Structure 1
């Protein structure tokens, strides 16, 4: 079945398919190798860039927290500020308390001024839930217990990111709380990151990579802060199957993770579509080039097909012209030397074929003419004519009028049939010869039969092959005409030809007999009439008119036979056979002529 399908594929489709495969296969292989190579490069590039940005963000955050931790250590364990707070706690004199309070605030302001990454700073008493010594105005009610916990250690707790309690700013900050080293007081130091310290980190609108979002994971891997709460909800466990992994995919996002020295982690998440954007852009370019290459390959394949198809079309026309001998010879060239040479050979072969065909046709025509001539010359016309002439004069001298009449009719008949073959005959000549023949037959047979000859006078001058009517009438006599026999000979000129009808009321013939009579290859046909009969009629019609003449026989056993012959009237008979030279009609007996 597969072989049958392949055999039905056209030459054009095969050329285009083979050309596309041979052209596109290397390009596709090279494209696939390039795609996987560039995809790996782009993936590594994007992942490396994200990881690098994340490390930078982690370093910024760690530096900020370390700076806050350093300041908290300085204030929690430093002697100056703690000493002033102890004095203030013990002092009862209002003026002195005011002075100490101012010194403490001055100390804190100096520390804040020397550390620009420090924002709000205050001391908080969790027992009394009161704060003091703040360096900025505090927004609302201060409640460190509601802050998002990032990491908790025995001496320090990290919070964030969260909205700053600093009333002068409105941004996210990180904060720490450290217990102050005061033996008689439960006091904690609260410090926030300063204005702009983490603006680029937790302000997405200020990032160059606007689609990148950040997550903060606590020491247990829970999400302490999320910029994508719809996918990564806060206080939920981060979907990381391998805690040591630095990258992965989750929720349609590609993530990278970096862990700090304190144990908390910073995670950046980017939509996978954006990660693939550069890859897709490159893929679109490759597909565009590939499509252009395909169009070019199809166009070249089409040109190649046309280059082959046009010569094949010329060969097709040359081969078709073999069946038309009168078609003009084509002179077009393909302008391709190989095809032009084959066209030259084809046209030469066509000329030789038609020359051979013409030669065979001429030979067949000559052979048919020779067959007719052979039939006509089966007897020696000179010998017969001279002998009959001698018999005629002997009968005259001996007073044998019946013999004289018989011989004279026979002599005239033979003179017509054999003596003027080179000359053109007419229907009138055929009718006269037929009358002589019938007169001989009436003398020859011992029974009486009637013959009715009905000839259209307009047809008497029409050309006709010689010896045409006699074999058909002889055939009627041969097939059963006896006493009270009747033969009708009709010649009528019609619009589409000359109609000749020979009808008898004899014994008739079966269909098989008619077939044998018309078949030249059967031996029965030689038994008709004078030995040439219907075979001669068929041959002479074929030689004279080709396929334009029609011969038909209708017969029924016991009811007679009708032979119909239709001849074209616009065409002269084409048969020309070398004429036999008839002897002249002498006026006295002569010896035999040679």
Structure 2
């Protein structure tokens, strides 16, 4: 797992774990508080509605009792209905009765429509408001019946000028001579409507009123709880529960009817959902803040890590150079960068020291090789001088000795002395003279030179081993050696012969085996010396190639770079 991911996960855990713990504890605590608050609020509202309706019904009971035969007005009604009165007396009694009714209704503002209902004829009289044509107590929803009184649940008023919901009561007047006379009283104007609309939840509550048998006498949401139906959950005596996505609470009155407050689950959970939404927004804020802090921390760590990476990359590409010091402005990282920079300097010094030691070692090896002259060569040469002196005259001996002296002088020169291509060619010619005299056979040596290359500095003793290789590998009396030196962007030296040729294995031994030629050729120093000398002097800029074909000869190609030297014209 990357450092960046670890930082983000660590910050998320350290920030969200305490928040989640607090959230879980708060959730259950607040949930309990909200449930109690909502339940208590709904129950309080339900209790208030039930109490108000019960008071209204009790008030209706009192009014009907006053208007029954036991009261003064009931007796006046009996007199009006007596047939032994003349028309004038009857008119006077009716006026007195209406006057008494008006006094009762005026002194009871919670009373609305009042009338006497004659069941046999279906007519009503002595009403204080005009009555609707379809008035029939039998069609009204019965809430409860007790002691000869029928209470009707909320229904539309029978007052022709009022369509509000009312409660009503129907009571038999109990006249001595008639059994079909009833007093009908409604609750006051808008009273019942106001009671049912007393909702502290902005209209979220709906009400049901159940009669004594558990049937719905009144419903504000008839699409779910239909009027006249019986819901088992509601009629079973439970005081609260859930039904079809609604939460309901029940309160029972003293007259055995019940009021049920109904609220949808969404409204019931509305306040709690609002709190949860606020908590969620706070959680998102903390999450964003946590991620921002983690990102800032990562940036503080990422920049020093980038600098470390740049330092390491610079050191790998330039081990001998010291990069300019950079700073992060973070003391701990700056200390590490300083120590890393010091380490880089020490590594650079070690590289230079190792490089210098390696160069000194190579120089010593080359110098050692230069002085590894095979004694057999000198002995054979001196023996040749002896026999020449016996067999021939002084001139030949003098020629041989002069060539030998020149060659030895050049070849035994100290390492580091400046040598030019001219001096290298002159030494090669002296070597070829000695070889022709020594082996006593003729071979053709052709040297082609570009005059511009003669004064260019070159490593000492690089041509003789290559020509000696041609002599050693099968050059006959009719053989030739073609030497060509050209100048282009670099020095190109080609040495070609028509000898017996070499195998690929022999070529690889010549280039890579340090001991393969020791003691077999004149100076004891071969192609391997040239190859190592070029690498020591030029690195990978010089090139040495050998191409040979058995029976047809060998070609050696030597390419030397020119590094800032002026070419002589």
Displacement of 1:364 after TM fit? Answer: 0.6
Which deviates the most, 75-84 or 365-374?
75-84
Q: TM-score, normalization: structure 2? A: 0.91
How many angstroms apart in 1 are the aligned matches of 2:432 and 2:81? 175
Taking a change above 3 Å as real, the CA distance of residues 568 and 130 of structure 1, as seen in their structure-2 partners, is: same
Task: Quote the offset at 1:209 in angstroms.
Answer: 2.7
Secondary structure at the residue paired with 2:311? helix
Alignment pair present for 1:463 and 2:457: yes
Structure 2 unaligned regions, length at least 5:
none
Rounded to whole Å, the distance in 2 between the matches of 1:569 and 1:209 is 100
Q: Contact (CA 8 Å) 2:165, 2:190: kept in 1 or not?
A: no
Q: Residue 38 in 1 paired to residue 30 in 2?
A: yes
| Partner SS state of residue 140, structure 1 | coil
- SS state at 2:186 partner: strand
Q: Which residues of 2 match residues 57-456 of structure 1 at below 5 A? A: 57-94=49-86, 95-153=88-146, 155-186=148-179, 187-202=181-196, 209-238=202-231, 240=233, 243-323=236-316, 324-325=318-319, 327-379=321-373, 399-419=393-413, 421-456=415-450
Secondary structure in 1 aligned to 2:516?
Answer: helix
State the partner residue of 1:25: 17
Q: Distance in 1 between matches of 2:339 and 2:235?
A: 81
- Aligned counterparts of 1:420 and 1:79: Cα–Cα separation in 2: 156
2-side partners of 1:176 and 1:420: how far apart?
143
Which position in structure 2 is the counterpart of 1:558?
551
Aligned 8 A contact 2:322 2:345 in 1: no
SS at match of 2:297: helix
Query: Over aligned residue pairs, what C-alpha RMSD do you find?
Result: 2.7
1:519 deviation in Å?
Answer: 0.9
1:434, distance to aligned residue in structure 2 (A): 0.8
Shift of 1:157: 1.0
Gaps of 5+ in 1: 1-8, 574-594
1:88/1:100 contact within 8 Å kept: yes
* 3-state SS in 2 of match to 1:524: coil
Residues 457 and 141 of structure 1: CA distance in aligned 2, closer, same or farther (over 3 Å): closer
Whether contact under 8 Å (2:210, 2:259) holds in the other structure is yes
The number of residue pairs the alignment matches comes to 555
Question: 1 CA distance for matches of 2:244 and 2:519?
Answer: 110
Pairwise CA distance, 1:286: 1.6
Deviations 1:563-585 (A, max 9, x none): 10001123569xxxxxxxxxxxx
Deviation, 1:491, is 0.9
User: Is the CA contact 1:528–1:534 (under 8 Å) kept in the aligned structure 2?
Assistant: no
Contact 2:321/2:348 (<8 A) preserved:
no
1:440-589 matches, within 5 Å, as 440-494=434-488, 496-520=489-513, 523-526=515-518, 529=521, 530-571=523-564
Alpha-carbon distance in structure 2 between the residues aligned to 1:79 and 1:486 = 164
Instruction: Compute the displacement of 1:498 (Å).
Output: 0.8
Whether the 8 Å contact between 1:518 and 1:525 is mirrored in structure 2 is no
Indicate conservation of the 8 Å contact 1:172/1:202, yes or no.
no
What TM-score do the two structures reach when normalised by structure 1? 0.87
- 1:420: how far off? 5.6
Q: Corresponding residue for 2:40? A: 48
Shift of 1:509: 0.9
Q: Distance in 1 between matches of 2:15 and 2:65?
A: 74
1:191 deviates by 1.2
**Against the structure 1 CA distance between its residues 525 and 62, is the aligned structure 2 distance closer, same or farther, given a 3 Å change threshold?**
farther
| Shift in CA distance, 422/184, structure 1 to aligned 2, threshold 3 Å | closer
Once residues 528 and 232 of structure 1 are traced to their aligned partners in structure 2, the CA distance between those partners, rounded to angstroms, is 123
Change (3 A) 1:141 1:474: closer
Secondary structure at the counterpart of residue 404 of structure 1:
helix
- Is contact 1:519-1:525 (8 Å) kept? no
| Deviation (angstroms), 1:422 | 4.7
Whether the 8 Å contact between 1:516 and 1:525 is mirrored in structure 2 is no
Deviation at 1:430, TM superposition (A): 1.1
Distance 2:232 2:550 in 1: 112
Structure 1 residues 71, 271: CA separation in 2 closer, same or farther (over 3 Å shift)? same
Q: Distance in 2 between matches of 1:295 and 1:51?
A: 42
Provide the rounded CA distance (Å) in 2 between the counterparts of 1:463 and 1:72.
Answer: 142
Which residue of structure 2 aligns with residue 586 of structure 1? none
Q: After superposition, what is the alpha-carbon deviation per residue over 1:196-255, rounded to whole angstroms, capped at 9, x for unaligned?
A: 432412458x98733322221122222211122222221122362673333333343332
* Rounded Cα–Cα distance in structure 2 between residues aligned with 1:248 and 1:380: 119
